[in-house]
Amino acid sequence: MDHFTDPGADWSCDPEIEVDKFMHSLDVKNQHVVVVGLGLTGRSCVRFLQQQGAIVSVMDSNPNASIPANTRGIVGRLDAEVLSRANMIVLSPGVNPNVNEIQQAKKCGVDVIGDVELFARVNTIPVIAITGSNGKSTVTSLVTDMLNSAGKNAVMGGNIGTPVLDLVDIEADFLVLELSSFQLETLSSLAPVCATILNISEDHLDRHLKLDAYVQAKSRIYLNAKHKIANRDDKLTWPEVFDEEQSFGLSTTQKGWQYDLNMDAILHRGERFIEQHACGIKGLHNMLNIQAALACVEHLQLDTAALRDAIHAFKGLAHRFEFVGQPKNVTWINDSKATNVGATIAAIESLVDKKSGKLVLIAGGDGKNADFSELQPLLLSAVDLLITLGKDGRQIAALKPGSVEVSDLKEAVKLAYSLAQSGDTVLLSPACASIDMFDNYQQRGDTFKQALLEIAS
């Protein structure tokens, strides 16, 4: 249903429209801005733009989307004509900028940006920007805790927690932003004091189509960054000029951050900084996350004791390699946030040297067009029983003989509980999105925990 009326702008498509007048500024008073997508981020954009005096209308392809009060717009479709006559289009992260209606508007000279770019044009607070296929929420949270432990006023937001536009004009020494590839692909003006790509593995190829496009979107985080922190062992994370001094990894170095397996410790420039037993989160993937967080704040010359305190106190986030319980002396781990192959590989690798018994893996869901074949070596060598479910569960099951397919997560938990013995580990690490069976990965993780609670009580 359409709820759009002409707010007074000139709707003719003008290819000569001056886009640059919006760059690095936000003089949108009395300009017509269309916000596309009406989720949490889209509504944040509407509020912010109205405060700036823009004439705001909205669109959402979802016919059931709710148009904000005192706002006009269209739901159920994107209107190419209206979009092409706007002065600016602000896309929510879930809206693909490559759809025909948006591309037509760009050809007409319309400035097409996202919420983070909108934020970047007005923000004055120093930003630490974090992205990657996996671990970005953990690193964003840990960096925030480190800064606050060291006496700074740090606030996090972006793809985790508070939408960036709701952070404009708050009082803070630093903003720590988790940024997704969707947010980054329309970004050009952000100038972080520090930026990092933690790792790259195939993800969101249903949107980006090719790995190269996904990498290009991620790499935009480095565009104007002062310090560029990369994963030494993952060249896809490297900026154009790679500096080993500003790197982290598992490989040996005398320059940046590393994890030494023999010492079971994180080192900086060859010197021991903190042992794994003193860290609140465990596993090789978390040793990388801690290094990345340390590298992000290294240039700030913070008190090292405060940083160690924060690392010790940080116990991780729900649904991210989360210890659930140990009924019958079987360890249960909820890694529902593992929505891509790389995350599941990291989770399994973190258990290879730690588990004493067998490993039961529960995986499957919506694979987002990913190639699951990279999982196969670990499925064959490290996983003792594979239980799969969901839209692409059969593809994963085909990688390992003897795999069991089930209809839902509760059935998977019931089966794992009946087969696991003392000393074994049951890991939910789906390598897939949850949208085929759940509202989100949080609901999937909560269902896993609740199913275990019910069967073990």
Catalytic sites, residue numbers? 136, 159, 204
CA dist 434 and 455 (Å) reads 23
Give Cα separations from 12 to 82, 135, 147 (angstroms): 9, 46, 50
3-state secondary structure of 207: helix
8 Å CB contact between 383 and 322: no
| 263 CB-side CA count, 13 A | 17
Q: How far apart are CA 295 and CA 7, in angstroms?
A: 49
**Collapsed DSSP state (helix, strand, coil) of residue 36:** strand
CA torsion through residues 168, 173, 178, 180, sign: positive
User: Strand, coil or helix: what is 338?
Assistant: coil
Give 357's DSSP letter: S
Spatial CA neighbour of 429 closest among 280, 290, 319:
319
Cα–Cα distance for residue pair 95/166, rounded to 1 Å: 20
For β-strands 72-75 and 2-3, DSSP reports them as antiparallel
Neighbour count for residue 382 (Cβ, 10 Å): 15
- For the CA atoms of 139, 145, 150, 155, the dihedral, rounded to the nearest 10 degrees, stands at 100
**Cα-Cα-Cα-Cα dihedral of 210, 190, 14, 52, to 10°?**
130
Query: Which of 268, 228, 266, 253 is CA-nearest to residue 131?
Result: 228
Angle of CA points 143, 315, 156, to nearest 5°: 30
CA dist., res. 377 & res. 392, Å (int): 19
Distance CA 224, CA 226 (A): 7
User: Residue type at 281?
Assistant: I
Bridge partner list, 363 = 388
- DSSP letters for 79-92: -HHHHHT-SEEEE-
Close Cβ partners of 220 (under 8 Å, ≥ 6 residues apart)? 184, 185, 187, 188
Of 219, 443, 451, 220, residue with least CA distance to 339: 443
